[in-house]
């Protein structure tokens, strides 16, 4: 009987020992393959984020204004861009190990001479700092990161390339929308040119026809293409210099329907060069947008004859 008891005790000790080793292995695995020991870097904790290119002088600072708004320079950051940034940052805590060795840093673009350094601040203190790689594949959609001073490289899901999500270009953080007015909210459009003889307007009738100068019916397909642009009119960039719009080449006044939540606005166009126009709206007098000439000339700054229904 005594021998059986000794056997039971030994068996129990062996099982406990095996379980203990297993727990240690699992724990080691978990910590080894995921980035651990991170301080909080969520938007409710962090108040400044600095993003610096490791191979150029490009850099930006993101500053928290309140829980909903951040600024880059003097401009409010475009909310969808900010949301995408913090979504990618939230993935860091679940980052998956892809390499342990420093010799592979160049392959993932996370060497000290490549990629981008992203530093998270709480007050004056550095909360965390990472190097984000400059490599990205549309099929894989991963950003590669490592903690500064560490060798391990990790992957996190990134819906956009790192030079978009962690951009050092301040313009890529700005609101790219010039105007956004649904077609159902637009009552009429007024076209003004340097040569006032060319001025005209189009107005929507009850039957949804668009009438040119209260006379000719406009081609619905052409007008619809124009209205679709105004529903989400995006810039392709921002001018870095001050541009005077005292004498624009042309303008389009968008008059909204009575009682609309959308404000009537006027878009001014000034030729920049053969490939693009400067564009400005009254609500943002300090901002000069840049739009491709192909879009403006072919779809927006049309004359009366362009808009008329062409007979076969």
Give the per-residue pLDDT at 138.
Answer: 86
Q: What is the pLDDT of residues 261-274, one digit of tens each?
A: 999 999 999 999 99
pTM summary value? 0.80
Confidence band of 7 (pLDDT split at 50, 70, 90): low
The secondary structure element, H or E, covering residue 110 is none
CA 290 and chain centroid, separation: 17
State percent of the chain over pLDDT 70: 89
Give the per-residue pLDDT at 197.
Answer: 87
How far apart (Å, rounded) are the C-alpha atoms in residues 101 and 110?
Answer: 12
Write 62-67 long-range contacts (CB < 8 A, 24+): 62/173, 67/43
How far apart (Å, rounded) are the C-alpha atoms in residues 264 and 245?
Answer: 19
State the average pLDDT for the chain. Answer: 89
Rounded to an integer, the average pLDDT of 132-136 is: 91
Q: In the predicted model, is pLDDT for residue 188 greater than 50?
A: yes
Give the per-residue pLDDT at 309.
Answer: 82
């Amino acid at each position: 009987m005594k021998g059986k008891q000794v056997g039971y005790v030994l068996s129990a000790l062996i099982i406990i020992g095996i379980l203990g080793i297993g727990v240690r292995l699992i724990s080691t695995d978990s910590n080894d393959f995921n980035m651990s020991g991170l301080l909080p870097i969520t938007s409710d904790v962090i108040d400044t984020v600095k993003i610096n290119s490791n191979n150029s002088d490009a850099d930006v600072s993101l500053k928290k204004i309140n829980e909903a708004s951040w600024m880059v320079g003097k401009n409010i950051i475009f909310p969808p861009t900010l949301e995408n940034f913090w979504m990618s940052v939230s993935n860091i805590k679940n980052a998956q190990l892809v390499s342990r060795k420093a010799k592979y840093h160049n392959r993932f673009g996370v060497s000290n001479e490549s990629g981008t350094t992203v530093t998270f601040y709480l007050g004056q203190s550095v909360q965390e700092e990472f190097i984000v790689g400059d490599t990205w594949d549309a099929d894989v959609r991963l950003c590669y990161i490592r903690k500064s001073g560490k060798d391990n490289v990790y992957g996190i899901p990134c819906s956009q390339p790192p030079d978009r999500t962690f951009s050092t270009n301040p313009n890529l953080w700005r609101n790219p929308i010039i105007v956004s007015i649904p077609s159902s909210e637009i009552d009429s459009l007024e076209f003004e040119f340097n040569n006032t003889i060319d001025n005209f307007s189009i107005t929507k009738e009850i039957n949804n026809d668009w009438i040119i100068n209260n006379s000719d019916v406009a081609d619905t397909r052409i007008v619809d293409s124009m209205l679709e642009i105004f529903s989400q009119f995006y810039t392709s960039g921002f001018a870095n210099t001050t541009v005077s719009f005292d004498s624009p080449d042309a303008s389009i006044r968008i008059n909204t329907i009575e009682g609309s939540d959308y404000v009537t606005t006027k878009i001014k166009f000034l030729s920049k060069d053969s490939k693009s126009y400067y564009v400005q709206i009254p609500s943002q007098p300090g901002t000069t947008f840049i739009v491709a000439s192909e879009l403006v000339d072919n779809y927006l700054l049309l004359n009366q004859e362009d808009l008329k229904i062409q007979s076969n």
